Amino acid sequence: MDSADRLMQEIAARRADLIELTQELIRIPTLNPPGEFYREICDFLDRRLVRHGFATELIRAEGAIGDSDKHPRWNIVARKDGARPGECVHFNSHIDVVEIGKGWTTDPFGGEVIDGKIYGRGACDMKGGLAASIIAAEAFIAICPDFAGAIEISGTADEESGGFGGVAYLAEKGFFSPEKVQHVIIPEPLNKDRICLGHRGVWWAEIETHGEIAHGSMPFLGDCAVRHMGAVVSEMEDSLFPALALKRTDMPVVPEGARQSTLNINSIHGGEAEQDPDYTGLPSPCVPDSCRMVIDRRFLIEEDIDEVQEEIHGLLRHVQENRENFRYDVRELQRVLPTMTEKSAPVVQSVARAVAAVMGREPQYVVSPGTYDQKHIDRIGRLKNCIAYGPGILYLAHKPDEYVGIDDMVESAQVMGRTLLDLLE
């Protein structure tokens, strides 16, 4: 039997270990926000990986957005050097999970196994992927102890809130510099036979319209900022949304509905602030002097960030030309450029061969509609040879009764193991 077959068997034989590891990770409720139990999950991973011969480092993202003494942003980076010089393959998983939400029929932090699936918040996004990468690495080291290069496994904070206390911080500290790491695989839940090459860009902005406060019984003495915002919304309906629908991309974004430019209005707020739920009084009669809208524009690799911004500024100038007393401001909240790794990149080629070997079919190449930590590895780390590949069904992420299939985890661990064999043997 050759080493590839032995490795496939070894990973399959570790199925019970994979299940237990996933359950243990789910049972640490690393909710973000606020960012709880990061230290506990890092300590847990530390104990496990040290036992398997990894050198580990726990890094707190001191001073990063979100980091505080109450909720410190802890990260772990583990490294196992091989017997000979070679390249480094890095598996990066985020350790945080989003809020539970309503509608669960299973314990969100129980890690229950029902019909071949493990349930819990973070099961698919992405503790199942983290567990699969650990099992793949441990099995590979057992079968090929004299491998070349190095394997790194990181567990990082805050991906769900932008990754600034996690991958961005580590990238700034040089953990993803191309001299140190040559291949990065992020086991996000993109389905076991798909290779995710990157993601669309993001531009978040807040538009504020200004008015003048007055008594609500005499609105003609003031100027209603909410009506001004209404004019912005109707201009968006008339000209912007139809124009965005026509901007198509060659990026293989899934789902297909996201294969175009999109804009979401995240929120609109005008006038008096909302009161606490226990407030029993009535609102006061005032003409709103301010209205704020947060927009979430997702853009394509074919689009330029300056054009994306100019589109909104142009729309607002157009409203101003046709409307008396229309005054506004635009504030940028966040920008992330689109990223897409070439299909010819070594890590893509290697994972594609592994998918074909394990599953007997070619992988599907996809791009994510939303961003994930690849943005920091690309922009700060300057490392282009990076993809997302992992078990779990994308649409289950952040939903009630989130689960990950055990067979899927085993198969994706086999793909990860074969990738290590391909790049490091």
Nearest approach, Cβ of 397 to Zn ion (angstroms)? Answer: 6
For residue 400, the one-letter residue type is P
Contacts of 275 (CB under 8 A, 6+ apart): 281, 283
Q: 125 vs 303, which CB is nearer to Zn ion?
A: 125
Residue nearer to Zn ion on the CB measure, 125 or 193: 125
Q: Choose the binding region for Zn ion from 30-38, 73-81, 119-127, 280-288 (rule: CB under 5 A).
A: 119-127
Cβ–Cβ < 8 Å for 272, 283: yes
Residue number, 180 or 398, with CB nearest to Zn ion:
398
The nearest distance, CB 155 to Zn ion, in angstroms, is: 12
Distance of CA 304 to the CA centre of its chain: 22
Find how far residue 15's CA is from the centre of its chain: 27
Cα gap 285→287, rounded to integer Å: 7
Q: How far is the CB of 47 from Zn ion (least distance, A)?
A: 24
- Binding piece for Zn ion, criterion CB under 5 A, among 61-69, 171-179, 181-189, 269-277: 181-189
- DSSP letters along 351-402, please? HHHHHHHHHSSPPEEEEESS--THHHHHHTT----EEE--SS-GGGTTSTT-
> Which residues, numbered 65-84, are part of the site for Zn ion (CB under 5 A)?
none
Residues 6 or more apart in contact with residue 298 via CB below 8 angstroms: 200, 201, 202, 258, 261, 262, 263, 264, 369, 370
Say how many CA atoms lie within 13 Å of 164 toward its Cβ: 10
Nearest to 188 by CA among 26, 388, 387, 397: 388
Which of 125, 158, 208, 422 touches Zn ion (CB under 5 A)? 125
> Which residue, 196 or 229, has its beta carbon nearer to Zn ion?
196
**If we measure between CA atoms, which residue out of 339, 319, 145 comes closest to residue 227?**
319
- Per the listing, tokens 């309503």 go with 102
The stretch near Zn ion (CB under 5 A) out of 172-180, 186-194, 326-334, 359-367 is 186-194
Q: Which stretch binds Zn ion (CB under 5 A): 183-191, 228-236, 237-245, 410-418?
A: 183-191
Q: Which of 11, 59, 123, 126 binds Zn ion (CB under 5 A)?
A: 126
**How far apart are CB 347 and Zn ion at their closest, in Å?**
19
- Chain position whose Cβ is nearest to Zn ion: 125
CB of 186 to Zn ion, least distance (A): 8
Size of the site for Zn ion (CB under 5 A): 3
Pick the closer one to Zn ion by CB: 126 or 144. 126
Question: Any contact of residue 208 with Zn ion (CB under 5 A)?
Answer: no
Phi-psi label, residue 111: left if phi above 0, alpha if psi -120 to 50, beta otherwise: left
Beta-bridge mates of residue 372: none
State in angstroms the smallest separation of the CB of 234 from Zn ion.
36
Of the pair 188, 208, the CB lying nearest Zn ion is at 188
Which residue's CB is nearer to Zn ion, number 295 or number 367? 367
- Least separation in angstroms between residue 94's CB and Zn ion is 6
Nearer to Zn ion by Cβ, of 80 and 199: the residue is 199
191 - beta bridge partners?
none
* Interface with Zn ion (CB under 5 A): 125-126, 188
